[in-house]
Chains A and B, each alone.
Chain A
Amino acid sequence: SQKIEQNSEALNIQEGKTATLTCNYTNYSPAYLQWYRQDPGRGPVFLLLIRENEKEKRKERLKVTFDTTLKQSLFHITASQPADSATYLCALFGGNAGNMLTFGGGTRLMVKP
Chain B
Amino acid sequence: DAGVIQSPRHEVTEMGQEVTLRCKPISGHNSLFWYRQTMMRGLELLIYFNNNVPIDDSGMPEDRFSAKMPNASFSTLKIQPSEPRDSAVYFCASSPGTAYYEKLFFGSGTQLSVL
Query: Is B25 an interface residue, CB under 8 A from the partner?
Result: no
- Is A100 a contact of B4 with CB atoms below 8 Å? no
Taken together as a complex, chains A and B put the C-alpha atoms of A105 and B104 apart, in Å, by 17
Q: How large, as a class, is the contact surface on chain A?
A: 20 to 34
- Is A42 a contact of B109 with CB atoms below 8 Å? yes
Q: Which residues of A contact B56 (CB under 8 A)?
A: 99-100
Residues of chain A from 18 to 59 with CB closer than 8 A to chain B in the complex: 31-32, 34, 41-46, 49
Taken together as a complex, chains A and B put the C-alpha atoms of A103 and B109 apart, in Å, by 16
Most A CB within 10 A of own CB, among B4, B100, B105: B100
Closest chain A CB from B102 CB (angstroms) = 8
Number of A-B contacts (CB under 8 A): 45
- Is B45 a contact of A43 with CB atoms below 8 Å? no
Query: Is B93 an interface residue, CB under 8 A from the partner?
Result: yes
Closest chain B CB from A104 CB (angstroms) = 7
- Is B106 a contact of A45 with CB atoms below 8 Å? yes
Query: Is A64 an interface residue, CB under 8 A from the partner?
Result: no
Interface size on B, residues (CB 8 A): 17
Residues of chain B from 43 to 78 with CB closer than 8 A to chain A in the complex: 43, 45, 48, 56
When A42-B108, A45-B106, A100-B48 are in contact, do A93 and B42 touch as well, CB less than 8 Å?
no
- Is A43 a contact of B101 with CB atoms below 8 Å? no
Q: Which residues of B contact A42 (CB under 8 A)?
A: 108-109
Closest chain A CB from B31 CB (angstroms) = 11
When A43-B4, A43-B107, A100-B56 are in contact, do A31 and B43 touch as well, CB less than 8 Å?
no
Partner of A43, one of B100, B103, B109: B109
When A43-B91, A43-B93, A89-B43 are in contact, do A101 and B108 touch as well, CB less than 8 Å?
no
Binding site for B on A (CB under 8 A): 31-32, 34, 41-46, 49, 89, 93-94, 99-106
Binding site for A on B (CB under 8 A): 4, 42-43, 45, 48, 56, 91, 93, 100-101, 103-109
